[in-house]
Structure 1
Amino acid sequence: MRGASVEHVASAVADGDALSGTTGFAGRLPDGRLVRDVLGRQPLFYDRDDAAAWSFDPSDLDTPESVPAGHVCPAGASDAPAEEFEQIFSLPDPALFEDDRRAVTELRDALAASLDVTASDSLAVAFSGGVDSAVVASAFDAPLYVVGFPESHDVAAARQAARLMDRELDVIELSLSDVEDAVPEVARETNRTNAMDVSIALPLFLAGKRAAEDGYDRLAVGQGADELFGGYAKVARAPEDPRVEADTVRGAAREVVGTLPAQLERDVLALRGAGVEPVAPLLDDQVVRVALRLPGELLVDSRGERKKALRLAAREFVPDPVAFREKKAVQYGSLVSRELDRLARQAGFKRRMDDHVSQYVASQVGSVDS
């Protein structure tokens, strides 16, 4: 079992407690069944062609399939009827906070508790200068790594935030050849070739790789904040944005939380492939519990500011200019997405072609599934 003790997980399964006080778990129960936590914070796989095979790493299996988040299933999953894949955990749907001040206070306290992780010389921090990674970085006397092209938004934002926080920063300045070399590695480690996944995972992979080369075996990250706290434009624009089905900001945020298992699987595999184990304090159960109680106006306020409650709570940990800084998604803020497009076109995959960047990535790794 990874992420928690077998005894703790078995008790949570028996009680159906989806948020039992962990940062995620996955593995085999004493009765032989496989289990993965409700947000999929730990990847877990079975082999659809080999009833006895399962692993935390899909590369160990010939035909890997993800164990669905929140489910238990027999270890011999390929021989099991569909009804034996039982959803044992569901995210709770608690009453929303009625008092904004109390909501921010409880979020601040949950963040403080989640950040109270024993640091060590083996931990570094992935740092982009935004509120998510800055809150995480505030807890650790550890090196900060930012990845991006020299002229990128992320490098500039990280430098400014590090100055405001009085922290040193290690800048991993990318070149086109760095991205070209990393593409097949990232695709293989994540078992994905679609352009979006690779462009998101690639900066994380390179930050992890540098941290590992420098002697660190854990990398603290700000993963989960955008999903939990209303960080996406499509959430802020609900219900007008066609990318979400919900007709409220709160509903849209809940909808994107459901995308976390697939995203976290990608990120965890990329970081482990780079040689580090991710540490994600913002995905602690106690933070998730508070986030699920936030009303829409504390996710996106009347002026359209996203992650409102998180920013207000973050003032306890970081300077205001950092807490309230708007930031681009990593694939755009690092300029990795732009340069992947450049590589694809240089290799003959023109924009008029369907999903030309994904086709380029696939061409670099052969048979890796997208």
Structure 2
Amino acid sequence: MDGTDPGTVRDAIETRDPLPGTAGFAGVVDGQFVRDVLGRRPLFVDADDPGEWAFERRTLGDPKSVSPGTVRALDGFEESSGSEYSAPEDCFWALPSPDPVSDADDAVAAVRAAVLDRTRAIGASGESDGSQSDDVAVAFSGGIDSAVVAAGVPDAPCYVAGFEGCHDVAAARNAAAAMNRDLRVVELTHDDIREGVPELVDVLGRTNPMDLSIALPLVRVAGRAAADGFDRLALGQGADELFGGYAKVSKAPEDPRVEADTVRGARRELLGTIPDQAERDVLALRSAGVEPVTPLLHDDVVAAALALPGDLLVDGDRRKVALREAARGVVPDSVRTADKKAVQYGTYVSRELDRLARQAGFKRRMENHVERYVRSLVDGGEPEID
């Protein structure tokens, strides 16, 4: 069992509790495949032999992801799509849909309590004296998400990756200075793309440029942290999905990228992307030698976020309103209120991957020109241009 103990999962099955107080879990218990409701831990079965399973896809002949929320006998799988086993409508656990908390102060206080508890627990060694473990580093971009995580482990070093002159490195330097933190910068190069992309394709089984542009800086940060002796990497993953950090959520229902007609409904749609993202990030980081720690995706934080009213997710031009309010006094205001770019853009990885594709002859007028370049790297750098 990955992520928690079998007893906790058994209790969650008995009570049908989708949020039993974990940061996600996956594995086999009592002859059943189980994966938590948000799919925060990857789990795969072999399409050729569904009795064969693994936490890492490369050990299987034809790996398929087990759907989030699944509880199913080892011999009870039937393929339901091209990439997953078991259908979402058949899943055992469903994400709660609580009514919004009517009192804004109470709602923010609940978020603050959950976030502080879970981020401060990152460094706990489990010893009765409450001593801190020194095996954790923080992936740090200078935004509110990674800043509140870093605040929970004040002695942990912070790491950021990016190409020269990129937004994330500049933001991380400013935030680290404001928080008086040790920041270690991993400068990316074109060789990191040329060498790292084929490795990631092998690990993830994906060739789409978006996933690779997100995973590459994470892997490089993780590799540097591992080389420095750290076993775990704490990240702010999940905050945008839970707290309304995306423009398409803030613009609902006008934004065509979401079907929902409310901010809360759009946020709910975005939560459905977490399993795919978590699979990508966990596989990538583990391949680099660290175990990811995602306190903002803990059940306690999820429960508090789900109860937020729409105006504590988005209020005019402000996004992640409740999280920013909860972080008052925890991180400097300059960090708490700062805007942030998506990692693939803030690190310039997406831009430089496109640049390398065009230099290799894959022009923008060509359909899927960057993915075609990716496939050429996987094939040994031989371009297939028509």
TM-score, structure 1 as length reference: 0.95
Match status 1:201 vs 2:215? yes
Superposition deviation, residue 64 in structure 1:
0.2
Partner residue in 2 for 1:129? 142
Superposition deviation, residue 49 in structure 1:
0.3
Alignment check: 8 A CA contact 2:67 2:87 kept: no
Q: Distance in 1 between matches of 2:246 and 2:179?
A: 26
Alignment check: 8 A CA contact 1:50 1:76 kept: no
Q: Secondary structure of the residue that 2:71 maps to in structure 1?
A: strand
Partner residue in 2 for 1:300? 314
Partner residue in 2 for 1:37? 36
- What percent of counterpart residues are identical? 58
Q: Distance in 1 between matches of 2:355 and 2:217?
A: 17
Partner residue in 1 for 2:101? 97
Alignment check: 8 A CA contact 1:74 1:80 kept: no
Superposition deviation, residue 334 in structure 1:
0.4
Q: Distance in 2 between matches of 1:189 and 1:107?
A: 35
Q: Distance in 1 between matches of 2:301 and 2:342?
A: 22
AA at the equivalent of 1:146: V
Tell me: CA distance 1:216–1:77, structure 2 relative to 1, closer, same or farther (3 Å).
farther
Q: Secondary structure of the residue that 1:138 maps to in structure 2?
A: helix
AA at the equivalent of 2:2: R
Alignment check: 8 A CA contact 1:123 1:217 kept: yes
Match of 2:260 among 238, 242, 246: 246
Partner residue in 2 for 1:88? 92
Alignment check: 8 A CA contact 1:47 1:78 kept: no
Superposition deviation, residue 80 in structure 1:
8.2
Runs of 4+ aligned structure 1 residues displaced above 3 Å come to 76-86
Superposition deviation, residue 240 in structure 1:
1.0
Q: Distance in 2 between matches of 1:246 and 1:262?
A: 20
Q: Distance in 1 between matches of 2:364 and 2:110?
A: 48
Match status 1:322 vs 2:341? no
Q: Distance in 2 between matches of 1:235 and 1:301?
A: 11
Q: Distance in 1 between matches of 2:76 and 2:184?
A: 44
Match status 1:108 vs 2:112? yes
Tell me: CA distance 1:183–1:84, structure 2 relative to 1, closer, same or farther (3 Å).
closer
Match status 1:3 vs 2:3? yes
Moved more, 288-297 or 343-352: 343-352
Superposition deviation, residue 366 in structure 1:
4.2
Partner residue in 1 for 2:46? 47
Superposition deviation, residue 363 in structure 1:
2.1
AA at the equivalent of 2:49: D
Gaps of 5+ in 1: none
Alignment check: 8 A CA contact 2:194 2:377 kept: no
Tell me: CA distance 1:310–1:84, structure 2 relative to 1, closer, same or farther (3 Å).
closer
Q: Distance in 2 between matches of 1:288 and 1:80?
A: 30
Superposition deviation, residue 213 in structure 1:
1.1
Q: Distance in 2 between matches of 1:364 and 1:147?
A: 22
Q: Distance in 2 between matches of 1:240 and 1:83?
A: 33
Superposition deviation, residue 116 in structure 1:
2.6
Alignment check: 8 A CA contact 1:108 1:313 kept: yes
Q: Distance in 2 between matches of 1:313 and 1:135?
A: 10
Tell me: CA distance 1:233–1:80, structure 2 relative to 1, closer, same or farther (3 Å).
closer
Q: Distance in 2 between matches of 1:108 and 1:2?
A: 27
Aligned runs of 1:347-358 on 2, under 5 Å? 347-358=360-371
Alignment check: 8 A CA contact 1:74 1:84 kept: no
Aligned runs of 1:149-160 on 2, under 5 Å? 149-160=163-174
Gaps of 5+ in 2: 125-131, 381-386
Match status 1:75 vs 2:63? no
AA at the equivalent of 1:59: R
Moved more, 190-199 or 115-124: 115-124
Q: Secondary structure of the residue that 2:14 maps to in structure 1?
A: helix
Partner residue in 1 for 2:383? none
Moved more, 113-122 or 65-74: 113-122
Superposition deviation, residue 83 in structure 1:
7.7
Q: Distance in 1 between matches of 2:224 and 2:79?
A: 42
The number of residues matched between the two structures is: 365
Q: Distance in 1 between matches of 2:187 and 2:167?
A: 12
Alignment check: 8 A CA contact 1:69 1:261 kept: yes
Superposition deviation, residue 175 in structure 1:
1.5
AA at the equivalent of 1:8: T
Moved more, 352-361 or 52-61: 352-361
Q: Distance in 2 between matches of 1:216 and 1:52?
A: 35
Q: Distance in 1 between matches of 2:240 and 2:223?
A: 24
